[in-house]
Structure 1
Amino acid sequence: MTALTKGRNTPLVAGDVRALAVAAATVLFQGGIAMRNAAGYATKGATALNLVGIGRIEEEVDNASGANGDLSVRIRPGIFLYENSEGGDEIAIADIGKVAYVVDDQTVAKTDGTSTRSRPASFTTWTPMAVSGSSSTKPSCAPISASGAERNSTRC
């Protein structure tokens, strides 16, 4: 394909719910960060390499005693607010435009944890959220998954 020389009508593939096969020995909780492992199966967000962020888990699925693909889970790509790490891994306003990383199925961080974390996303932005009991603000983060293309970004 050659580069565009004029505008085009690029079809939108909406971020509708889709079903994915669940990885072996995995329990997924509704609302958690959904990722795909290297074999392509759905798993929860975790400090691990070779995972790709794909959205939010829409239902609880217990495949703890099952094999790859024994069960499926509904995943919704989109923008979701997740917890921000604390201390040196806390994502702040200075981190706008930088990569964010998954810590667990509800938390993201600004570092790769010494090369131990996967990215849910390719960049971060910042929405200030009031921190309970203080006058400061702290960002919360969320993966954004582009349905079909499996490209991800994060907003914090």
Structure 2
Amino acid sequence: MRAGNERLSGNDIVIPVAAGESITEGHLVAISAAGYASEASKAENLMIAGCAMKPVDNTGGEDGDVEVQVRRGAFVWNNDGSIKATDVMKPCYVSDAQTVTITSTGSSKAGVILGIEGDGVIVETL
């Protein structure tokens, strides 16, 4: 029985990858309603899991044939230019697998903005 066994970190998770998908290391990872991972994209109803820790290629496989290692936490993503210093602690949304935006229309929540660094945005994945 595993109940009560300590896990070192809830920040490192493994997610089965959707059929036909390839995920690049260091990109945002999304989970579909079916429960399979893909690179994040501007689309509604995706759950953002975090940052891919290793590249995976399931372009020739079926749903779940491979898994992706994902880390949750605070990461720096590209700013599409819409996020300003006054947006700290506000939600931001996916523009593409490396870019976030303040605009929610047609997108999914990437996380909460913790700070701005040059052209990068520190985002905590929740």
Alpha-carbon shift at residue 13 of structure 1 (Å) = 6.8
Q: Report the AA paired with residue 46 of structure 2.
A: L
Name the TM-score, length of structure 2 as normaliser: 0.84
User: CA separation in 2, counterparts of 1:57 and 1:17?
Assistant: 10
From 17, 23, 29, give the equivalent of 1:22. 17
User: CA separation in 2, counterparts of 1:120 and 1:13?
Assistant: 25
Contact 1:37 1:52 in 2 (8 A): yes
Partner in structure 1 of residue 113 of structure 2: 124
Instruction: Determine if the alignment matches structure 1 residue 93 to structure 2 residue 85.
Output: yes
User: CA separation in 1, counterparts of 2:61 and 2:7?
Assistant: 35
Partner in structure 1 of residue 103 of structure 2: 111
Cα RMSD after superposing both structures: 2.1
Cα 1:143–1:12 change in 2 (3 A) is: farther
Partner in structure 1 of residue 34 of structure 2: 39
SS in 2 for 1:35: strand
Name the TM-score, length of structure 1 as normaliser: 0.69
User: What whole-Å deviation, never above 9, does each CA across 1:34-69 have from its counterpart, x for those lacking one?
Assistant: 111111111111011111111110111111122211
Q: Report the AA paired with residue 116 of structure 1.
A: G
**Alignment gaps of 5+ in structure 2:** 1-5
User: CA separation in 2, counterparts of 1:12 and 1:69?
Assistant: 23
Larger radius of gyration, structure 1 or 2?
Answer: 1
Q: Work out the percentage of aligned pairs sharing the same amino acid.
A: 30
Cα 1:13–1:54 change in 2 (3 A) is: farther
User: CA separation in 2, counterparts of 1:24 and 1:31?
Assistant: 20
Partner in structure 2 of residue 50 of structure 1: 45
Alpha-carbon shift at residue 12 of structure 1 (Å) = 9.4
Partner in structure 2 of residue 141 of structure 1: 121
Contact 2:114 2:124 in 1 (8 A): no
Cα 1:98–1:44 change in 2 (3 A) is: same
Cα 1:97–1:18 change in 2 (3 A) is: closer
Return structure 1 stretches of 4+ with deviation > 6 angstroms. Answer: none
Q: Report the AA paired with residue 45 of structure 1.
A: A
